[in-house]
Amino acid sequence: NSKKILITGARGFIGSHLGNMLVEKGFEVVGVDDNSHPSANKVNFNVITGKAGEVDAKGFDVIVHLAAHINVDESLKKPVEYFENNVVQTLSLLENIRLHNPNCLFVFASSAEVYGSAQFVPMSMDHPIVPVSPYAESKKSGESVCRLYRRIYGINIKIVRNFNTFGAFQRDGEYGGVISKFKSLAREGKDLPVYGSGEQKRDYSDINKIIHGYYLVMTK
């Protein structure tokens, strides 16, 4: 009796890798995606086109909510769009779960961006939460809505804060990840633009470690 799993944002960078890995492990996976920023990664499971908030949550053991607008810079230009997509869609999905599937596990993809600029290094779980962009605030708000539904309605919810994920099929366009941008420029023999002194340090998470983390969150 394999678990039935729904992934929102299933055509995205993390969602496509996660879904493919879960299929390989024998899970039944269904995806939903509005195609706003699909990855080039080919998915080997069925993906419905649509918004996360319109999903019918019935029948799934686990719902992994990865669908979101995800770029800090873009969110500064489009804050309302980010809140509508990241907070309102999350709320709609949680309400659907409350009404139709209250016993499922809901895994919410948050972000290390909720911490804001590092006040101490290395950052830890108890670092103050001080969002410095509409994107970060939308993820913090999404977490708050999740906690509310856990507290009031008893929904089983786990929150994962992704931290600078990189790997195969990551987008390298205007709002892509820096490592994928560097790779594309290097392939073309172009310079890699470096800001500041070039001596700053930053941690990145390999996509395979990230999806293994989600697997543990879903199964342990």
Return the residue matching tokens 């995606």: 33
Reported residue count of the chain is 220
Q: Tell me what pLDDT residue 26 has.
A: 96
What pLDDT sits at residue 206? 96
pLDDT at 1: 59
Peptide bond into 102 cis (omega under 30): no
| Residue 44: pLDDT over 90 | yes
Measured between alpha carbons, how far is 52 from 49 in angstroms, rounded to an integer?
10
**Separation between Cα atoms, residue 97 and residue 95, nearest integer Å:** 5
- Provide the mean pLDDT of the chain: 94
- Residue 36 in 3-state DSSP? coil
Taking alpha carbons only, the member of 209, 75, 212, 191 closest to residue 133 is 75
Is the pLDDT confidence value at 173 over 80? no
Residue in 107, 97, 194, 207 with CA at minimum distance from that of residue 152:
97
- Other Cβ atoms within 10 Å of 51 Cβ, number: 17
| Confidence at 195, pLDDT banded by 50, 70, 90 | confident
Stated pTM of the model:
0.93
pLDDT number for residue 49? 97
Q: Is 40 helix (H, G, I), strand (E, B) or coil?
A: coil
The order of strands in the sheet holding 28-33 is 46-49, 28-33, 4-8, 62-65, 105-111, 156-162
Confidence of residue 152 (pLDDT cuts 50, 70, 90): very high
Categorize the per-residue pLDDT at 37 as very low, low, confident or very high, splitting at 50, 70 and 90: confident
Q: What is the pLDDT of residues 86-136, one digit of tens each?
A: 999 999 999 999 999 999 999 999 999 999 999 998 889 899 999 999 999
Which phi and psi (to 5°) does residue 157 adopt?
A: -125, 135
d(CA 214, CA 98): 22
Q: What is the predicted pLDDT for the residue at 201?
A: 81
Kindly indicate the confidence band of residue 200, based on its pLDDT and cuts at 50, 70 and 90.
Answer: confident
pLDDT for 210: 97
% the chain with pLDDT above 90: 80
* CA distances to 113, 171, 189 from 194, in Å: 21, 19, 15
For the annotated catalytic residues, the residue numbers are 135
How far is it, in rounded angstroms, from Cα 153 to Cα 147? 10
Determine the Cα angle at 8 with ends 163 and 52, to 5°.
Answer: 120
* Rounded Cα distance, 91 and 126, in Å: 26
Tally of CA atoms within 13 A in the half-sphere of 88 that contains its CB: 9
Q: What is the pLDDT of residues 174-184, one digit of tens each?
A: 666 788 888 88
| Extended beta strands in 84-154, E state | 105-111
